[in-house]
Amino acid sequence: MTSSTDTFIRAELISFAHDPGEGNTPCPGSLEHYADGLLWLKGQHIHAVGHFYEVAPSLPENISILDYRDKLIMPGFIDTHVHYVQLDIVASYGRQLLDWLNDYTFPEECRFANHAHAEALSNAFIDEMLRAGTTTAQVFGSSHPGSVDAFFTACQKRDLRMIAGKVLMDRNAPDALLDGASGIADSERLIEDWHGKGRLGYSVTPRFAPTSTKAQMDAAGALLRNDPTLWLQTHLAENSGELDWVAELFPGSQDYLSVYEKAGLVGPRSTFAHGIHLDNGMRRRLAERGANIAFCPSSNLFLGSGLFDREAAKETGMAFTYATDIGAGTDLSGFGTLKSAYQVGQLRGQPLTAWQGFYGLTHGNAKALSLDSHIGQLAPSYEADFVVIDPQATSLLSRRIKHSTTLGERLFALMMLADDRAIYETWAGGQCQHRRDS
Ligand code: GUN
Ligand code: ZN
């Protein structure tokens, strides 16, 4: 049966059913590739995927098929760590983390006390994300609860799958940003109003250990114990000045991670941004709890924070995800994030394959966020969130693609050369939500 909500798209399709492994060719069965494929949508979900010649006989008569045979469709990109409230301070010159926070970030976040500003930036941020091919993100608001109301309201209007939270911070920042006792009560109200509503989810969001008292982090841990379906997002071990500060503020703690462990913040739905300056003991403890580190390569390069060690993560079993960390990151694009990840990897002698990169950006990130039964793959019953990529978007990309003989080479060219010009369309919830100006 078809209905008016059915959509048929003919294109090259790529999706990862499993981790492709570290080799130069993907592990058998991990990659699903249809050079001439058909994607059949019913309402908000994918109904069928396959080779065109296989699916075509089961198609109803008199349907119209979108012919995207010169395009490549992948699952929508996922960004596990980003600050929508920092969109307007992206590319602020010349500071490292703690000065950057004081000079640019905190003053900017103060503006979110104004609800009209929060609404305008929520919409601007979502437009930018969709332009970059990102359909799901785990997002920091500011400490003002209204910043999260504005963001979720904007996401709900477009039926996006998004996770977000109000920043908790009750010390060591400008008074205008400190939430004190109301921080937890405001988080509870936001959870009640938004968590599990449609495709929205709440992430409890203590900014990082230096800006929350132990009492506030303990209370955040209590929220998580009370509802294990909540997410947790914060920052960990990004910068050496930050490490010294945490050691000073928590003299009784064995190390940085144990501050979060004692508060009950480390679990399978926890994302810790950065994790550059960890030892293997901390990596193993994160692995045991099933938490993930958000690797934010453009941010780590921009703030001069350090080079994330992917090999150490793999050796210790610590999960990591790919993220932009706008406004310290310099690129909202998944392609740009993978390009920076490749460059960081090269500086560490750990080059990143395109298979690993695109798996990570889609299925891998979905899995780390416990969303892998909903998004991250092109497969029946999955939510219809995907990107339509134009491999001819720029003349250089087009030249390089023409000289590629394998799929691996083409994907690597996209990872290194593509940007939002290569995102022809972004679909979420079965609807085309962004189309590039041709
Ligand atoms: N550590 C605490 N807050 C922040 C932030 O907003 N951005 C980054 N990159 N690191 C942080
Ligand atoms: Zn961040």
Q: Let me know if residue 19 belongs to a domain.
A: yes
Q: Identify the pLDDT of residue 59.
A: 93
Instruction: Give the torsion sign (CA, 281, 263, 290, 125).
Output: negative
Strands 45-51 and 66-75: unpaired
| Average pLDDT value for residue range 396-422 | 97
248 and 103 part of one domain: yes
Q: Let me know if residue 265 belongs to a domain.
A: yes
Any idea which residue has 């030892």 for tokens?
279
- Please state which of the ranges 1-15, 117-131, 192-206 shows the lowest mean pLDDT: 1-15
Q: Let me know if residue 419 belongs to a domain.
A: yes
303 CA: nearest ligand 1 atom: 9
- 187 with 143: CB under 8 angstroms? no
Residue 1 — very low, low, confident or very high, per pLDDT cuts 50/70/90?
A: low
231 and 309 part of one domain: yes
- Given a cut of 90, is residue 4 above it in pLDDT? no
- Given a cut of 80, is residue 78 above it in pLDDT? yes
Ligand in closest contact with the CA of 172: 1
Q: Let me know if residue 114 belongs to a domain.
A: yes
Q: Identify the pLDDT of residue 438.
A: 76
Residue 119 sits in which domain range?
Answer: 77-368
Helices (H), 29-114: 52-55, 97-100, 106-110
Q: Which residues surround ligand 2, an ion (CB under 5 A)?
A: 273, 325
> pLDDT above 90 covers what percent of the chain?
98
Cα 429 off chain centre by: 17
Q: Let me know if residue 1 belongs to a domain.
A: no
| Average pLDDT value for residue range 80-101 | 97
114 and 18 part of one domain: no
Output the CA–CA distances (angstroms, integers) from residue 341 to 76, 155, 307, 345, 348, in the order listed. 19, 28, 9, 6, 11
Alpha-carbon distance 229 to 69, whole Å? 40
125 and 194 part of one domain: yes
CA of 353 to the centre of ligand 2 (A): 25
328 CA: nearest ligand 1 atom: 9
- Given a cut of 70, is residue 18 above it in pLDDT? yes
396 and 328 part of one domain: no
What residue's CA is closest to ligand 1, atom 5? 101
What residue's CA is closest to ligand 1, atom 1? 235
Helix (H, G, I), strand (E, B) or coil at 23: coil
For the stretch 211-220, pLDDT in tens is 999 999 999 9
Residue 124 — very low, low, confident or very high, per pLDDT cuts 50/70/90?
A: very high
Alpha-carbon distance 402 to 392, whole Å? 9
123 and 166 part of one domain: yes
**Residue whose CB lies within 8 A of the most ligand 1 atoms, among 79, 171, 234, 235, for a mutation test:** 235
For the stretch 127-159, pLDDT in tens is 999 999 999 999 999 999 999 999 999 999 999
Any idea which residue has 């709900």 for tokens?
156
57 and 169 part of one domain: no
User: Phi, psi at residue 198, to the nearest 5°?
Assistant: 60, -125
**Residue whose CB lies within 8 A of the most ligand 1 atoms, among 80, 85, 238, for a mutation test:** 238
For the stretch 195-228, pLDDT in tens is 999 999 999 999 999 999 999 999 999 999 999 9
Alpha-carbon distance 433 to 55, whole Å? 26
299 CA: nearest ligand 1 atom: 9
What residue's CA is closest to ligand 1, atom 7? 328
Q: What is the full DSSP assignment across 134-164?
A: EEEEEEE--SSHHHHHHHHHHHHHTT--EEE
| Average pLDDT value for residue range 304-333 | 98
136 and 183 part of one domain: yes
- Given a cut of 70, is residue 2 above it in pLDDT? no
Ligand in closest contact with the CA of 209: 1
Query: Which of these, 120, 221, 232, 114, lies nearest to 165 by C-alpha position?
Result: 232
72 and 90 part of one domain: no
Ligand in closest contact with the CA of 294: 2
Ligand 1: residues with CB < 6 A are 83, 97, 101, 105, 207-208, 235, 238, 299, 325, 328
> What's the pTM?
0.98
Domain at 57, CATH number: 2.30.40.10
Q: Which residues pair with 206 in a beta bridge?
A: 168
46 and 120 part of one domain: no
Query: Which residue has better confidence, 5 or 264?
Result: 264
CA of 208 to the centre of ligand 1 (A): 8
**How confident is the prediction for the chain on average, in pLDDT?**
97
For the stretch 47-70, pLDDT in tens is 999 999 999 999 999 999 999 999
- Given a cut of 60, is residue 113 above it in pLDDT? yes
Q: Identify the pLDDT of residue 228.
A: 97
Q: Let me know if residue 301 belongs to a domain.
A: yes
Alpha-carbon distance 8 to 307, whole Å? 43
Tokens of 8: 């048929």
Domain at 344, CATH number: 3.20.20.140
200 and 327 part of one domain: yes
307 and 196 part of one domain: yes
| Tally of structural domains, the chain | 2
> Of the candidates 309, 335, 368, which is a domain's last residue?
368
- Given a cut of 90, is residue 40 above it in pLDDT? yes
For 184, the enclosing helix (H) or strand (E) is helix 182-194
208 CA: nearest ligand 1 atom: 2
| Cβ within 8 Å of residue 205, ≥6 positions away | 140, 141, 165, 166, 167, 168, 187, 232, 233, 234
> Of the candidates 310, 339, 368, which is a domain's last residue?
368
Q: Which regions of 24-65 does DSSP assign to beta strands (E)?
A: 31-42, 45-51
Q: What is the full DSSP assignment across 284-337?
A: HHHHHHT-EEEE-HHHHHHTT-----HHHHHHHT-EEEE---TTTSS---HHHH
